[in-house]
Amino acid sequence: MRMEAIDIQSKQRFFNDYQHNFDQVSDQFEYNPREESIWSERYQYVVNQSYQREALSDVLVEMNKKWEAPTETFEQIEKLRKENSAVVIAGQQAGLMTGPLYTVHKAISVLQLAKQKQEELQEPVVPVFWIAGEDHDFDEINHVFLKQQDHMEKFSIQQNPDQKQSVSDMALEQETASKWVRSVFSEIQETEFTNDLLKQCLSAVEKSESFTDFFARLMYQLLPESGLVLFDAHDPMARELERPYFKNMIEKNEPIARGVYAALQKNRNQGYETLLDSEMDDAHLFYQHDGDRTLLVRDEAGHFKGKNDEVVLSKEDLLEVVEQQPWLLSNNVVTRPLMQDCLFPVLAFIGGPGEINYWSALKPAFSEVGLQMPPVIPRLSFTLVDRRTQQILDKYELKTSTSVEYGVGEQKLNWLSSHSVAPIEQLGEQVKVEMDRIHRPLREASSQFGADIEQLADKNLEYIQQHVDFLTKRFHQSLEQQYSREMKEFEDVELLLHPNGGLQERVWNILPWINQYGLDVFERMNESYYSFESPHYIVHL
């Protein structure tokens, strides 16, 4: 296994400025992630705050017993009881088979930063992964993509929730899930690892009551010796700890919403893309009503209600809910980071480009609830390259970093053109130039017959040029048929390194990789050292 750091540009302007021009966005964050001095400063802040360490650790122990977490996880939880400990944290939804690769990459990022900062500070730093079990968007987690000949195909589980339930509340239908697992395994080539992997996945399904349980069990199978600590944000035990923090968010609800809205407007005025939707009347809390997870807004009278008036609660009613039934409340993307910092002594939060974009609006919200926004660190990003793909890259002298960032479409066309006796593209362009010259007298003469004839002449030239383009395209198709094996190799590289026009980690799942290289492939990846100064790593397997 060999690692290669490469520099690739994000398509998001805000994230690029965060990484390379921090001065442009510094007022929206508490810490500059490039300054080494922030770590001792943040650590002192964290250890001087008060947390429910014992109660939180007890909850973590109970959660992780249910998932049969490894011994290393419980050792890390015990560290959290100590007043001098801190955590590095990231989170994600509970995707099927852990979801896209970047979910595991986030976990590796947490493990790497926690280990590095523990060594630097000489104080205990615990790696925590926040499972967003309260999320209810089932379409985001109910599938994986697998390679099928010349495209990536979605394989969705055939389970349809009746209501907008939180994922942790949604029962995993054992028979349906087992059938789905068998179906996705039938789509991959059998290796020495396949049968054992299938048995382990089916066993995880059998032991899981919810999609969150299935996710957690697989994560621990992937990273059993790392000491990663998983936390289900929707567990009722967690809600019991969150009472005082929900109360604070309700009391400060209006200024939180006002501050976030103002920050978003500032981003828009500066020309940045805004990935977070927020209005002045948003409460940024969900309430479970008749089995549905309902997003609350505030009306002019200060009541909290669903957008369709499906539920209406006074402020006093909502505070009573917190006291008597806290499990009926959950956070949205604005208040989740606040709750995270209330519960955990957060040394740093790790996020992807989209998360960092919406965190840029949260500094006022942290301030309103009496918190200081933690350092926000871009997660590590990886592209995995197997041996066959590397051989193809070498064969056609394709640069791996360029192939990852832009794909190989242009290189494929160049290769085809170089293997044609006639320079097809040049011939086509020359013919169009000559046609334009020959056709010009007709267009010039057409002007004396009226605007409609003049437009017809222009259209006529356009048709002629389209026919030349059509013929050029047919030449290319003929060449592609002649070199079908080579074209397949280019397409395979494109699907692996730049699927659907983006990064591999946003589309591919863990399954092909653990099937080819074993369940411990990500544990082995985590054994290497990664600098957070490098935006992307190519992993040669």
φ, ψ of residue 48 to 5 degrees: the values are -90, -5
Could you give the CA distance from residue 360 to residue 14 in angstroms, rounded to a whole number? 9
Q: Which two tokens stand for residue 525?
A: 């990846």
How big is the CA angle at 492 (ends 488 and 495), to the nearest 5 degrees?
Answer: 135
- Specify the pLDDT at position 484: 81
Could you give the CA distance from residue 386 to residue 395 in angstroms, rounded to a whole number? 14
Neighbours of 236 (CB within 10 A): 13
pLDDT band at 535 (very low <50, low <70, confident <90, very high): confident
Q: 50, 57, 36, 52: which is closest to 121 by C-alpha?
A: 36
Residue 425 pLDDT > 80, yes or no? no
* pLDDT digit string, tens, across residues 200-232: 999 999 999 999 999 999 999 999 999 999 999
Residue 426 pLDDT > 80, yes or no? no
- Specify the pLDDT at position 420: 67
Q: Determine the straight-line distance between the first and last CA of the chain, rounded to whole angstroms.
A: 5
Neighbours of 100 (CB within 10 A): 20
* pLDDT digit string, tens, across residues 78-127: 999 999 999 999 999 999 999 999 999 999 999 999 999 999 999 999 99
- Specify the pLDDT at position 431: 77
Q: 373, 331, 367, 342: which is closest to 255 by C-alpha?
A: 367
Residue 422 pLDDT > 70, yes or no? no
- Specify the pLDDT at position 40: 97
* Of the candidate ranges 20-24, 297-301, 310-314, 483-487, the one whose mean pLDDT is the lowest: 483-487
* pLDDT digit string, tens, across residues 148-159: 988 999 999 999
- Give whole-number Cα distances, 174 to 136, 156, 180, 206, 221, in Å: 20, 15, 10, 6, 19
Could you give the CA distance from residue 380 to residue 90 in angstroms, rounded to a whole number? 12
* pLDDT digit string, tens, across residues 449-489: 888 888 998 999 899 999 988 988 887 788 778 888 888 99
Residue 428 pLDDT > 80, yes or no? no
* pLDDT digit string, tens, across residues 328-364: 999 999 999 999 999 999 999 999 999 999 999 999 9
- Give whole-number Cα distances, 1 to 373, 538, 539, in Å: 37, 10, 7
How big is the CA angle at 340 (ends 230 and 313), to the nearest 5 degrees?
Answer: 115
The arithmetic mean of pLDDT across residues 31-48, rounded, is 97
pLDDT band at 248 (very low <50, low <70, confident <90, very high): very high
* Cross-sheet strand order for the sheet of 536-540: 2-6, 536-540, 382-385
* Eight-class DSSP state of 171: B
What are the strands, taking DSSP E only, across 251-298?
A: 282-289, 292-298
What proportion of the chain, given as a percentage, has pLDDT over 70? 99
Residue 244, burial from CB neighbour count under 10 angstroms (0-12, 13-18, 19+): exposed
The arithmetic mean of pLDDT across residues 20-46, rounded, is 96
Three-state secondary structure along 185-243?
HCCCCCCCCHHHHHHHHHHHHHHCCEHHHHHHHHHHHHCCCCCCEEEECCCHHHHHHCH
pLDDT band at 32 (very low <50, low <70, confident <90, very high): very high
The arithmetic mean of pLDDT across residues 171-188, rounded, is 96
Q: 439, 457, 459: which is closest to 448 by C-alpha?
A: 457
Q: Which two tokens stand for residue 440?
A: 């010009």
- Specify the pLDDT at position 421: 56
The arithmetic mean of pLDDT across residues 309-319, rounded, is 94
Could you give the CA distance from residue 424 to residue 426 in angstroms, rounded to a whole number? 6
Could you give the CA distance from residue 312 to residue 273 in angstroms, rounded to a whole number? 33
Could you give the CA distance from residue 433 to residue 429 in angstroms, rounded to a whole number? 6
Cβ pair 139, 152 in contact under 8 A: no
The DSSP annotation for 455-486 comes to HHHHHHHHHHHHHHHHHHHHHHHHHHHHTHHH
Q: What is the mean pLDDT of the chain?
A: 94
φ, ψ of residue 415 to 5 degrees: the values are -65, -45
Q: Which two tokens stand for residue 99?
A: 């979801």
Could you give the CA distance from residue 380 to residue 352 in angstroms, rounded to a whole number? 8
Cβ pair 498, 399 in contact under 8 A: no
Number of H helices, E strands in the chain: 23, 15
Q: Which residues lie below 8 Å from residue 449, measured CB to CB, with a gap of 6+?
A: none
Cβ pair 8, 535 in contact under 8 A: yes
- Give whole-number Cα distances, 490 to 148, 152, 480, in Å: 15, 15, 11
Residue type, 432: K
Paired residues of 377 in beta bridges: 350
Cβ pair 230, 63 in contact under 8 A: yes
How big is the CA angle at 404 (ends 398 and 408), to the nearest 5 degrees?
Answer: 50
Residue type, 61: V
The arithmetic mean of pLDDT across residues 270-291, rounded, is 92
Largest CA-CA distance found in the chain, in angstroms, rounded:
91
E strand or H helix that includes residue 405: helix 400-406
3-state secondary structure of 21: coil
The arithmetic mean of pLDDT across residues 167-175, rounded, is 90
φ, ψ of residue 284 to 5 degrees: the values are 60, 30
Residue 49 pLDDT > 60, yes or no? yes
Integer Rg of the chain from CA: 27
Q: Which two tokens stand for residue 115?
A: 């280990």
